[in-house]
Amino acid sequence: MEAVFSSHGSEFQMWVTFILIIGAFALYVVETTTMEMVSVGLICILLVFFNFFPVTDTVGNNLVDPGRILHGFSNPALITVLALLVVGQGMVRTGVLDHGARVILNIAKGRLGAVLALMFSLIIVIVTSAFLNNIPVVVIFIPIMQALAARFGQSPSKWMIPLSYAAVFGGMTTLIGSGTNLLVNSALIEMGETPFGFFDFTVSGLVLAGAGLLYITFIAPRLLPDREAVASQTGSREGKHFLAQITVGESAKIMGDLAVGGIFRGLPNMTVRMIQRGKEILLPPYEDVRIRPDDILVVAAVRKPLREALAADPALFHPDLGDGSREDNAGNQPWEEGEQVLAEVMVVPASRFVGQTLAQIGFRYKTNCIVLGIQRRSRMIRGKITDIRIQSGDVLLIQGQPIDVSGLRNNRDVVLIEWSTEELPSLDHAKRALIIFSAVVFFAATGILPIVVSALCGAAAMVVMGVLNVDQAFRALDSKIVTTIATALALGVALQETGGAAYLAHSLVVLVEGQSPTVVLSLFFILVAVLANIISTKACAVLFTPIAVDLAREIGVPPESFALAIVFAANCSFASPLGYQTNLLVIAPGNYRFVDFSRAGVPLVVLMWIVFTLFVPWYYGL
């Protein structure tokens, strides 16, 4: 067995590396401590162990020195993943994905049947996930799939897991579709192998994605339970109806909108309770009523449509401006410049605001925040909110800069509801974000720039062009991704240099001795796919790529096909919520249990295995 060790590796270091890998996997699964702590602790152990027990080459150099162990933090694949997170956050922050999702929802209203509409949405998720990080795509499409399911009389639990799976399918089709793909590519470069191009596995990925799409559209919903979604924190927040006031200016986008069947199309998901036109008051039902300049509309709606309307036309909701001036005492425009957030505050019983109107309170001048709406549970209000006298217990929906909203924590008259704070999308930067994103994809896909250069320049452009500020860009980064990927890369180096990868590859060859390369490739795929549902997909990618390359060398076939097996198998984290973050995102909206993922995911893993075994060896001529 000594022959399978690298010339510089030793059995002792190899078995210690195996023990550390198993221990890390166990700690990641049981989650007794955070992933970040496990990852950093493991790197420290590697640094200390290989300092006292080095793996040396023929001239005595330590091949697993601190530089090699810590190299993962500067790995191009990790930098690319983080840069793409920033680019994706720019797309979310400017509402580009939200707008696209609403277009899909509108298309599906009447032209498509239930299954076709849902299938069409899943196809869009697959296409989008091929070029963007999967997490924001799933976050954006969760309410879309919920709305479609409700429209067609189905439970969201039938479609939340398929949504997560669709995002994973999309990630299989391009080099930047998943961080897993980039890590496999980086490991190939580290080992001196030819890296993948942008679309090198797109054909195979589309074949697997096509089979998977048919499964999640026609079979998975039959296997999933019919449950009502639990009321998440977001759901309860969106359930509150606020009374808001819209003043229609000459440039307002809803100016001239005609009511059809009592509904104004420019105010979706809002109930217009009253229109004041000069001294005339118009009450519902509204038939053939057209919105005119200077109309004052009193509407009732939950936060989401108010937020969308505010982002699209910021000048609509400023009911407490009083004299019509849009500047504060210092001549600033705090609600129109810089980062803006929405939040809710509750009026306390001893508040000085009780019994006063917004104009009398001067809330805007005291806090630099705008009151957009009022929520009162006791009775339905029909009147201008500028005429309403505030009562204790009223909830005010406010808009302001983060520093001003945070300052309300020290206000004695209101209590800031901490979890209610959310950023407003900056739609005026949407074109910039879309141009930057398109440029990143173009330069990476054509090979004009390396992917890491294209992604990093795109992330920097998001900040330089004002789409994101520095704080928002850093908030898009995920500490779990940084530490987990760096640790997996360090373990991959240790596995390679101690001879562990060659040992495992040789052991697998012995087990399947006499079998064809197709059989070996198929068994290797299912082994990695099973482990991807227990541990991190990224850890699987990094740790098994050296084994895949050595295994291909052992049986005398090009390493590309076995590296491709890692790309697809590591992404097959369908049977448990542990392997992939998008699975965790859909648990609450679908009210899922662990077994639900196994029920729908195990057949899908088997399907992916069969399709891979039938297509990829044939495609690569094995």
Residue among 234, 232, 222, 226 at smallest CA distance from 157:
226
Superfamily of domain 238-427: Regulator of K+ conductance, C-terminal domain (3.30.70.1450)
Confidence of residue 381 (pLDDT cuts 50, 70, 90): low
Is-cis flag, bond preceding 285, omega within 30?
yes
pLDDT of residue 205: 92
Structure tokens at 593: 């249990």
Given a cut of 70, whether residue 579 has pLDDT beyond it is: no
Given a cut of 60, whether residue 7 has pLDDT beyond it is: no
pLDDT of residue 337: 54
pLDDT of residue 613: 94
Given a cut of 50, whether residue 454 has pLDDT beyond it is: yes
The full 3-state SS of 272-330, as one line of letters, equals EEEEEECCEEECCCCCCCECCCCCEEEEEECHHHHHHHHHHCCCCCCCCCCCCCCCCCC
Given a cut of 60, whether residue 231 has pLDDT beyond it is: no
pLDDT of residue 425: 66
Higher pLDDT, 15 or 273: 15
Given a cut of 60, whether residue 44 has pLDDT beyond it is: yes
Least confident of 157-166, 214-223, 285-294, 507-516: 507-516
Structure tokens at 170: 């999309």
Given a cut of 90, whether residue 48 has pLDDT beyond it is: yes
**pLDDT digit string (tens) for 390-440?**
888 888 888 888 888 888 888 888 888 867 777 776 666 778 888 888 888
CA distance 368 to 321: 12
The full 3-state SS of 326-383, as one line of letters, equals CCCCCCCCCCCCCCCEEEEEEECCCCCCCCCCHHHHCHHHHHCCEEEEEECCCCCCCC
Given a cut of 60, whether residue 238 has pLDDT beyond it is: no
**Whether the model pTM is above 0.75:** no
Average pLDDT over residues 94-116: 63
Given a cut of 70, whether residue 373 has pLDDT beyond it is: yes
Least confident of 132-136, 198-202, 533-537, 546-550: 533-537
Structure tokens at 237: 């927040």
Q: HSE on the CB side for 100, CA within 13 Å?
A: 15
Given a cut of 80, whether residue 380 has pLDDT beyond it is: no
CA distance 332 to 149: 45
Average pLDDT over residues 172-178: 87
Least confident of 4-8, 50-54, 86-90, 138-142: 4-8
> Nearest-5° angle of CA 363, CA 364, CA 370?
105
8 Å CB contact between 97 and 434:
no
Confidence of residue 609 (pLDDT cuts 50, 70, 90): very high
Higher pLDDT, 184 or 88: 184
Average pLDDT over residues 329-350: 67
Structure tokens at 579: 């392997």
Percent of the chain with pLDDT strictly greater than 70: 82
Average pLDDT, the chain: 79
Where in the chain are the domains?
Answer: 2-78+479-582+602-619, 79-162+200-231+430-475, 238-427
pLDDT of residue 601: 92
Given a cut of 90, whether residue 93 has pLDDT beyond it is: no
